[in-house]
Amino acid sequence: GDCGQANNLVTLGRDMIVNVETTGSCNTDEFHLVLAAGDFNAAGDTIQIYLNNTGGYSDHRIYGLYSTSTNSDIASQVLYQTYTDYSNMPSGRGQMNYEFFKPNTANASTTTLGGDWDGMFFFYDYDQFQKRTKDTLINYAKWNWTDLGVRGFRMDAVKHFTPEFVGDLLDSMHTAGMNPSMVVGEWYSTNAGELSGWINNVKAAMDPATQAAIRPKIFDFSLRENLRQACDDAAFDVRNVFTGSLHDASGLSGFNVVTFANNHDFRDGSGFASLIRNNPMLSYAYILTNNQLGVPTIFYPDYYGYPAPAGGLYGYHPTNIPAGKDELDRLIKVLQLYINNSPSADYLNRFSTPYAANFIEGSSNKALIYQMEGSASNSFKDVIVAINFGNTTLKVDQQINNRNGGILPGMRFTDVLGRSAYPFQVVDGSGRVYIELPAHSYSVWVQGTLTVLPLNVTQFSATAQKNAVTLGWTVSGNEMLSSFDIERSDDGVTYRTIGTKPAATATGIQQYSFIDKDVVYNKSMLY
């Protein structure tokens, strides 16, 4: 038997109900059939093997068929026929039979049930080239929108989703006035060409009007693997992260990418398919402070904490990583206040960088130092980010991008997270700033003199009145503030200052209010 295990004896014409092994390292079950001379036609015969999945979600297949008479594996002789019949559904919808799946009468002579689109992963596979299948799935997606209120779609294992089908799906939804704000596919691979190629093919199958309304995305496994190695592999040069994303490796727009550090599929103890086991916050610091990469996502246990192994579950979970909620909340606030809408990222210590650096302690191959260009959203303030993956303190004089003379010597950059050795940096006469960070740490410096986060906002409200809107907020930790600037956006993009509220000099919890009397009507306002 495979993996040195025993086999299970089966008999012709008799069903065997089994639970396929999923808890061991082998993940294989072997069955032994003995045929007597009277059980088959020696001139030629066929064994019908019924593999009926009754347990729901599953991924099992026949990968070996060993013949003792020929002393060989004859699995290549197996021919598949889909054993599927959904013709009597209680809802009266979604009727399907084998013609909707692979193989069917249209492709039985051509499919090999192999490769990314035809392989027997996760049991029977839809044939999205069949119009009947495509129409049923599109109608199901629309039903999710109209009846369940679903407004976003995560498509699993899109190696098996033809790009033409996804393009037609989004075209049909857009024509029906359904424009999901998030459509993301999971292609389990680190090959940047494959990942970006799928998205580009989906976009090519979409009408121009649909492309303007819906931006399909794909998970960036390429960047994630670089981040995992940066955290867990002591020999890895972390500057590879700068070139390892879909955006930087293949030119894919960040609007078509979802970035992440961990997810539910990583269940090995080490390697590509494992969770980041050392300082995952360094990975989150990168994806939450570089908007060019894509839409950042956070894995639930990284935010709330990992469940301890119990009952045979979660044995692959790291046990030394605390809940990251507080730290991630601060990074999210940095993203919202200073990073969103930045038009570019300049990787200051990249390979073959034009920017000079003097590493007093630590090394360039264990640091990510980059500069985000300011935008109207943050009053055109540049942002400098440094992440130290090394085991020693990082001390470096790093030349920065002076924006064609727009950033002059003497300009101050405030450490808004307060995680470095000093509260601010000052640009010296050589256009450099001094960065000092502990081992396995990071921080963010914003151009100008600013308040250090976190200012803890515990409550905020906006109450519409007849001719005004009353704003109310409660904060703690405002001792360093002089005032609050109240800003409003009428288009959801640009903000303008509509007033100022002096900060209290007292310590502790403080409550504030402001009345906006110059309101617009029949339109959303953001404060």
Confidence band of 458 (pLDDT split at 50, 70, 90): confident
Identify the pLDDT of residue 35: 92
Can you list the alpha helix ranges (DSSP code H) found in 337-461? none
The fraction of the chain above a pLDDT of 70, given in percent, is 94
Amino acid at 463: T
**Sequence-ordered list of residues with C-beta below 8 angstroms from that of 325, at least 6 positions apart, any chain:** 303, 304
**Residue 59: per-residue pLDDT:** 65
Q: Has residue 434 got a pLDDT over 60?
A: yes
To the nearest 10°, the Cα dihedral for 325, 326, 331, 335? Answer: 80
pLDDT value, residue 330: 93
Lowest mean pLDDT among 221-225, 257-261, 331-335, 448-452: 448-452
* pLDDT (mean) for 286-304: 98
Residue 354: left if φ>0, alpha if ψ -120 to 50, beta else—which one?
alpha
Between 32-41, 66-75, 76-85, 327-336, the lowest mean confidence (pLDDT) is in 76-85
504: how many CB neighbours lie within 10 A of its CB?
A: 14
Across 65-215, where does the E strand assignment appear? 66-67, 72-73, 85-86, 96-97, 101-102, 125-126, 152-155, 182-185
Helices (H) and strands (E) in the chain, counts: 11, 27
Residue 134: which region, alpha, beta or left (left: phi > 0; alpha: psi -120 to 50)? Answer: alpha
Separation of alpha carbons 276 and 280, rounded Å:
6
In the predicted structure, residue 380 carries a pLDDT above the cut 90: yes
What's residue 148's pLDDT?
A: 97
CA distances, 478 to each of 355, 365, 423 (Å)? 37, 38, 17
When the pLDDT of each residue in the chain is averaged and rounded to a whole number, the result is 91
Cα–Cα distance between 80 and 112 in angstroms, integer? 10
Give Cα separations from 509 to 30, 274, 374, 500 (angstroms).
Answer: 66, 43, 32, 19
Per-residue model confidence (pLDDT) at position 107: 83
**CA 457, CA 476: separation in Å to the nearest integer?**
7
Stated pTM of the model: 0.79
Residue type, 255: F
For 274, the token pair is 């494992």
Cβ count within 10 A of residue 58: 13
Q: Are 415 and 425 within 8 A, CB to CB? A: yes
Exposed, middle or buried: residue 467 (CB in 10 Å: 0-12, 13-18, 19+)? exposed
Examine the pLDDT at 1 and tell me if it is beyond 60.
Answer: no
Residue 82 has pLDDT above 80, yes or no: no
Q: How far apart are CA 447 and CA 385, in angstroms?
A: 11
**Dist CA 88 CA 94 (whole Å):** 9
- Burial class of residue 87 in the structure, from the number of CB atoms within 10 Å of its CB (0-12 exposed, 13-18 middle, 19+ buried): exposed
Q: Domains in the chain, start-ordered, CATH in brackets? A: 123-339 (3.20.20.80), 345-447 (2.60.40.1180), 456-516 (no CATH)
Q: Contact, 442 vs 285, CB < 8 A?
A: yes
Please check whether residue 72 is in contact with residue 66, taking contact to mean a CB–CB distance below 8 angstroms: yes
In sequence order, the 6+-apart residues with CB closer than 8 A to the CB of 37 are: none
Does residue 499 have a pLDDT over 80?
yes
| Closest alpha carbon to 28 in 4, 51, 48 | 4
DSSP 45-92: ----------SSS--------EETTTTEE-GGG-------EE-S-TTS
Angstrom distance (rounded) from CA 136 to CA 140:
6
**What pLDDT, on a 0 to 100 scale, did the predictor assign at position 495?**
80
Question: Is residue 164's pLDDT more than 80?
Answer: yes
| Residue 455 pLDDT > 70 | no
Cα 227 from Cα 236, distance rounded (Å): 10
- With a CB cutoff of 8 Å and minimum separation 6, the contacts of 59 are 121, 122, 123
Interacting residues of 49 by C-beta distance below 8 A, sequence separation 6+: 62, 78
pLDDT one-digit tens code per residue, 179-219: 999 999 999 999 999 999 999 999 999 999 999 999 999 99
Q: Is pLDDT at 123 greater than 80 in this prediction?
A: no
- Interval 141-154: pLDDT, tens: 999 999 999 999 99
Contact present, 121 and 158 (Cβ < 8 Å): no
- DSSP code for 454: P
- Predicted confidence at residue 454, as pLDDT, reads 58
Least confident of 237-241, 296-300, 343-347, 491-495: 491-495
| Cα gap 53→392, rounded to integer Å | 54
Burial of 117 (0-12, 13-18, 19+ CB in 10 A): middle
DSSP-derived 3-state class of residue 31 = strand
Q: What is the mean pLDDT of residues 296-318?
A: 92
pLDDT band at 83 (very low <50, low <70, confident <90, very high): confident
For range 462-488, the mean pLDDT: 85
What is the pLDDT, as a whole number, of residue 131?
93
